[in-house]
Structures are given as structure tokens and as C-alpha cells.
């Protein structure tokens, strides 16, 4: 009973905190859109990055295609197929997909609410999307893929190292999952940096989704778990 009450309390706290932050983000975006000083300083950063080796921009181009809308859907679908093979449970796969993809509607909504123009460094770039700059959709897509990857690896680790009296299994499971988290964070950072190297986003465009999107997914995860625990009463 205490565990179930604890999960509900945690879900309420996480949802409240995430909701407050989600309400603040559009205000941050509007302030950045209207600030000539912020725009100038962030543009200077993008112009400084433009002198880096061409090979980095080639890698960034590959990431731009991989984490486009179509690319993101394809990767998540592939991970869902793997997740299904691991768990054999449609309910678990649906849960993992919903938790992973939860931030996308918020990101799209904020984009068109704030309507921050793209940086001048994006002019003439063939990879330039036709949507506003804030927040970065590609960075959000990287978070979605990363969360789905973490959940899939979590299920795999739980299958390989099931709960039991052997503490070594739990330790191996934690190590396995921690490596997946490190890889997921590295992926999000790589995609975020790629958007800057291509000059398609301001730094704050990629920082915001890299922080708020995982929180949204975690909030949905907590709510889902609280609902399941409540149903077991």
C-alpha cells in the first residue's frame, strides 16, 4: 500500500513540476525571439562554429536525415519491433512508445506558438525545414529515440538479469542500463550539436528540448506506473 501511495505522490510531484516548466518554456522562447542581444550573441556562436572542419558538417547532414520526422518514426518502429521480441507484450510496447513519443505534440505546439525565426546562418541551406526555429524538432526526435532505446534496453536487461536473491544480477542490470543511458545522452548531444554546426538552430533552440522532453517522458512514465499500481489494488 505504501509503495502504491508513493508512486501516486511521485507522479503528482513530477507532473506538477513538469507542467510548471512546460508553461515557462514558451515565455522563454518569446523572450529570446524578441531579444536582439540574445539573437546577436547566439548568431556569433553559430558563425564561430562555421569554421570547423567540413567533415563535421557532413556527419551533421547524415544526422539531419536520420532524425527527420520520417527517420525518427522508422527508428522508433524498429526499436518497438525489438521491444516486442524481447517482452512478447503488446501492452508494454505500446506503453514504451507512448512514453517516448509524448513530447512531440508539445514541441510542435510551442514551435507555432512562439514562431522564432531561423538564424541567418540557415539561409540557403538545403536542409532548412519550413517550421519555426524554437524548439528544435530534430533534438526532440533524438530524445524520443533515446528514451525508446533506454526502455528497450531496460526490458532486455530485466529479461537477462531477472529479479532474485542474487544481488549480482541487479548490479549487472544497473550497469547495463547505465551504459544505455550514457549512450542515449551522447546521442542527444550529438544531434543537438549537429543542428548548430549546420547553422539551422540557435543554441537555446536545442538546449530547451534536450532538457524538457526527457522530463515530459518521465512524467508520462510516472503517471502510467501510478495508474497500473492503482489498478492492482
Percent of the chain with pLDDT over 90: 78
DSSP of 21-59, one letter per residue? Answer: HHHHHHHHHHHHHH-HHHHHHHHHHHHHHTTS-HHHHHH
Residue 92: the pLDDT is 95
How many residues would you count in the chain?
233
Question: Is it the case that residue 232 has pLDDT exceeding 60?
Answer: no
pLDDT score at 190: 97
Q: What is the pLDDT of residue 7?
A: 77
Give the CA angle between residues 19, 33, 135 to the nearest 5°: 50
The stretches of the chain forming alpha helices (DSSP H) are 2-34, 36-49, 54-66, 69-87, 90-101, 103-114, 137-160, 167-197, 203-231
pTM of the model: 0.92
Cα-based distances in Å from 136 to 26, 36, 204, 216: 13, 20, 9, 15
Chain centroid to CA 136: how far? 10
As a whole number of angstroms, the distance between CA 119 and CA 204 comes to 12
What SS3 class is residue 67?
coil
Distance from C-alpha of 118 to C-alpha of 86, rounded to nearest angstrom? 42
What's residue 167's pLDDT? 63
pLDDT top residue among 164 and 229: 229
- Cβ-contact 143, 217 below 8 angstroms: yes
Q: 56-72 pLDDT, tens per residue?
A: 999 999 999 999 999 99
CA distance 11 to 221: 8
Query: What is the tally of structural domains in the chain?
Result: 1
Query: Of 18-22, 39-43, 122-126, 195-199, which range is least confident?
Result: 122-126
Determine the structural domain holding residue 176 and report its residue range. Answer: 2-231
> What pLDDT digit, counting tens, does each position of 103-161 carry?
999 999 999 999 999 999 998 888 888 899 999 999 999 999 999 999 999 999 888 87
Amino acid at each position: 500500500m505504501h509503495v502504491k501511495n508513493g508512486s501516486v505522490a511521485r507522479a503528482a510531484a513530477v507532473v506538477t513540476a513538469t507542467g510548471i516548466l512546460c508553461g515557462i518554456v514558451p515565455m522563454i522562447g518569446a523572450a529570446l525571439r524578441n531579444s536582439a542581444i540574445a539573437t546577436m550573441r547566439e548568431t556569433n556562436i553559430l558563425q564561430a562554429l562555421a569554421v570547423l572542419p567540413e567533415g563535421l558538417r557532413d556527419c551533421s547532414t547524415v544526422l539531419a536525415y536520420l532524425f527527420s520526422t520520417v527517420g525518427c518514426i522508422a527508428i522508433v518502429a524498429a526499436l518497438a519491433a525489438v521491444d516486442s521480441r524481447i517482452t512478447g507484450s503488446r501492452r508494454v510496447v505500446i506503453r514504451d512508445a507512448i512514453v517516448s513519443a509524448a513530447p512531440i505534440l508539445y514541441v510542435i505546439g510551442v514551435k507555432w506558438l512562439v514562431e522564432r525565426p531561423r538564424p541567418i546562418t540557415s539561409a540557403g541551406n538545403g536542409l532548412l525545414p519550413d517550421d519555426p526555429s524554437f524548439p528544435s524538432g530534430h533534438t526532440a526526435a533524438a530524445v524520443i529515440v533515446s528514451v525508446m532505446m533506454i526502455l528497450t534496453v531496460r526490458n532486455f536487461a530485466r529479461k537477462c538479469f531477472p529479479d532474485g536473491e542474487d544481488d549480482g544480477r541487479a548490479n549487472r542490470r544497473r550497469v547495463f542500463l547505465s551504459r544505455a543511458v550514457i549512450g542515449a545522452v551522447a546521442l542527444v548531444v550529438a544531434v543537438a550539436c549537429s543542428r548548430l554546426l549546420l547553422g539551422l538552430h540557435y543554441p537555446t533552440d536545442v538546449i530547451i528540448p534536450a532538457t524538457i522532453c526527457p522530463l515530459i517522458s518521465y512524467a508520462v512514465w510516472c503517471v502510467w506506473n501510478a495508474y497500473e499500481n492503482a489498478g492492482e489494488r
